[in-house]
Structure 1
Amino acid sequence: MVTQQRWTEEDVLRAIARGEIEVRRSARRKKTISVSKELGTYVLSTPVRYSVEHNIRSLTNLFNRLAARDHSSAEDLVGLAEEMSRRYFDGRLRPQSIRWVTNQNISRWASTTTSSGDIRVSHRLQAVPRWVLETVIVHELAHLQIGPHSKAFHELADRHPRQADAKHYLEGFSAGEQFSRG
């Protein structure tokens, strides 16, 4: 996948030509466009009659806004885990590994194997705001110290001030995913 610091109009057109941005046209879509990420590519969903070339300036602006909030690389995930460990656990809780995976089921956002210290994060979270991903990582880091979801575990995981907000966000995100599949 192309990871850009700053997109130009030519970059967007080249990425489309190479298949790094897949344009999916839909007769059901009348006015709006959307961009999502799937492993290895961006997906640009558009109405059937949408002209990429005619709208290249606004598309370029859209991709630049996405790049500014992107946290989807493996290196970003490792760095974010290190930052969350420092911020909320004085650097004590560090995974042996942390990586994006595609095999988490619809209700699972991440998982931790406490015996090995490995954390796996659903690739679906590449599309959420950073603060939501932070809360998931803090939750998984807490599992490195306390396995089960006990009161002591939640006291540890709730060190991130937006845990409750993220829970609501993820409930809505999951409902939206299920609705779009339906």
Structure 2
Amino acid sequence: MATQQGWTEDDVLRAIARGEIEVRRSARRKKTISVSKEVDTYVLSTPVRYSVELNIRSLTDLFNRLAARDHSSAADLVGLAEEMSERYFGGRLRPQSIRWVTNQNVSRWASTTTSTGDIRVSHRLQTVPRWVLETVVVHELAHLQIGPHSKEFHALADRHPRQADAKLYLDGFSAGEHFRRDR
């Protein structure tokens, strides 16, 4: 896909040709375009008459903005868990493994198996703002010490200062996903 320096116009066109970017045209969409990520594919939703070729410069800018906030690699997730453990738990809560998964149901953002120390994070969070993902990881790290959602657990998980903001963000994100599915 993109290079380390970001997307070029040729990168975008090649990714479309290879199917790494799927263009979905909709008669219901009149003016706007959007890009989302579905595991290993970007989905570009456009009006029926939208010309990718005529708009390649603005599309390239859009993909570069998306890439700037993308933290979807496995290494990024491991690094984030290490950073959050150091920052909020003095480095003592470390997962045995942490990875992206595609089998989390629509109401679950992540899960932890306390007996093995494994954390799984929904791929749907790959493009949320970093601070939102941080709160989810802190929440799951807290489960490594306290399993159930008790008062003590929340005191530990709420060490991230934007935990309440992230809950609001994720509630809206989830509502948007339901809206998109119901259309």
Q: Tell me whether the two structures share a fold, i.e. TM-score over 0.5.
A: yes
Aligned residue for 2:99, secondary structure, equals strand
For residue 179 of structure 1, report the CA deviation from its aligned partner: 1.1
1:120 aligns with 2:120: yes
Q: Alpha-carbon deviation of 1:128?
A: 1.0
1:152 aligned partner: 152
Aligned residue identity for 2:43: V
Letter in 2 for 1:36: S
Q: TM-score, normalised by structure 2?
A: 0.97
Taking a change above 3 Å as real, the CA distance of residues 3 and 150 of structure 1, as seen in their structure-2 partners, is farther
Separation in 2 of the partners of 1:144 and 1:159? 15
The residue that corresponds to 1:129 in the other structure is 129
Whether 1:138 and 2:138 are equivalent positions in the alignment is yes
Under a length normalisation based on structure 1, what TM-score does the superposition of the two structures give?
0.97
The answer (yes or no) to whether the contact 2:9–2:56 under 8 Å persists in 1 is yes
* 1:33-182 equivalence runs, <5 A: 33-182=33-182
Cα RMSD (Å): 0.8
Q: In the alignment, which residue of structure 1 is the partner of 2:18?
A: 18
Amino acid at match of 2:32: T
How many residues are matched? 181
Query: Structure 1 stretches of 5 or more lacking a match?
Result: none
Aligned mates of 1:175, 1:127 — CA distance in 2: 16
2:126 alignment partner, SS class: helix
Which deviations, in whole Å up to 9, do the C-alpha atoms of 1:107-161 show, x marking residues without a partner?
1100000000000001111121111010000000000011111111101100100
| Counterpart contact for 1:4–1:67, Cα < 8 Å | no
Q: Deviations over 1:32-68 (max 9, x none)?
A: 0000000111100000000000000000111111111
1:2-21 CA-to-partner distances (Å, cap 9, x unmatched) read 35431111111111111111
Checking the alignment, whether the CA contact within 8 Å between 1:26 and 1:45 is kept in structure 2 is: yes
